[in-house]
Amino acid sequence: MKSGTYRTESEEQTIALGRELGRDLKGVVLLIGNLGAGKTTLTKGIVEGLGVASADEVSSPTYTLVHQYGGTAGRVFHVDLYRLDEAREVASMGLEDLFAGDDVVLLEWAERFPELMPAKRTEIRIRALEGDAREIGVQAQ
């Protein structure tokens, strides 16, 4: 995993960076950023970089809470915890089972429930700048 800070200037560049990062991602990945920061946009590239789906197939799981991409050859779970308010709601989703598997688990808004997140993870922090520019920090823990 390539830790560091990156800057993108457009949605296309953010997807391209996600594609690059996705080639090396494993395990649990926290996507951290304000509303509209570009978490789902980056996810489009990550999913494509992992080779499990095209960017066009990726959408925000805000209302469904979990989207699964891929199949038996490899899966990615894209989880959005924005609409959940209590740790017990999150715990009832079965995330521990996802964390224990070999699949990549991308979590939006997981920083709201740090006590439920595994210590071994990658954190990707996305900050919106002017226009479509983004600052994206990647750190494996």
Which pair of tokens denotes residue 88? 């017990």
pLDDT of amino acid 1: 56
For the chain, the C-alpha Rg in angstroms (whole number) is 14
Domain ranges of the chain: 4-140
CATH fold group of domain 4-140 = Rossmann fold (3.40.50)
- In tens digits, the chain (141 residues) has pLDDT values of 568 999 999 999 999 999 999 998 999 999 999 999 999 999 999 999 999 999 999 998 887 899 999 977 789 999 999 989 898 888 888 899 999 989 999 999 999 999 999 999 999 999 999 999 999 999 988
Integer Cα distance of 95 and 102 in angstroms: 13
Give the model confidence (pLDDT) of 119-139 as tens digits: 999 999 999 999 999 999 999
